[in-house]
Amino acid sequence: MNRLLLFLLLFSSTLIINAQKKLYSVIDKKAKEVESKMIEWRRHIHENPELSNREFKTAEYIAEHLKSLGLEVQTNVAHTGVVGVLKGGKPGPVIAFRADMDGLPVTERVDIPFKSEVKSTYNNIETGVMHACGHDTHVAVQMALAEVLVSIKKDLPGTIKFIFQPAEEGAPPGEEGGAKLMVEEGVLKNPNVEAIFGLHISSGLPVNQLGYKSGGSMAAADRFVIKVKGVQTHGSQPWGGVDPVFVSAQIINGLEGIISRETELTKEAAVISVGLIRGGVRNNIIPEEVEMIGTIRTLDVEMQEKIHQKMERVVTHIAEGLGATAEITITKGVPITFNDPKLTAKILPTLQRVAGNDNVIQMDATTGAEDFSFFANEIPGLYFRLGGLPASHKKGDYIPSHHTPDFYIDDSGLITGLRAMANIAVDYLYKK
DSSP 364: -
CA-nearest of 266, 382, 262, 247 to 318 is: 247
Which of 55, 168, 169, 410 is flagged as catalytic? 168
Q: Which residues pair with 269 in a beta bridge?
A: none
| CA atoms lying within 13 Å on the CB side of residue 357 | 0
Residue 216 near residue 401 (C-beta atoms within 8 A):
no
Closest among 37, 32, 79 to 184, alpha carbons compared? 79
What is the spatial distance between Cα 192 and Cα 187, in angstroms, rounded to a whole number? 9
Instruction: Let me know: does 137 contact 152? Beta carbons within 8 Å.
Output: no
Cα distance between residue 175 and residue 290, in whole Å: 24
Contact residues for 147 (Cβ-Cβ < 8 A; gap 6+): 30, 34, 37, 65, 69
Answer yes or no: are the C-beta atoms of 166 and 52 closer than 8 Å: yes
- 340 belongs to the catalytic site: no
- Which residue in 192, 121, 207, 133 sits closest to 159, CA to CA? 192
Nearest Cα residue to 111 out of 412, 402, 408, 413: 408
- Single out the catalytic residue among 50, 102, 268, 340: 102
Angle between helices 135-150 and 414-431 (to 10 degrees): 50
Q: How many other CB atoms are found less than 10 A from the CB of residue 257?
A: 14
Residue 102 annotated to the active site: yes
Helix, strand or coil, per DSSP, at residue 155 = helix
CA distances from 404 to 109, 333, 368, 371 (A): 9, 22, 14, 20
Three-state DSSP class for residue 193? coil
List the one residue out of 277, 81, 95 whose CA is nearest residue 185.
81
Residues acting as catalytic residues: 102, 168
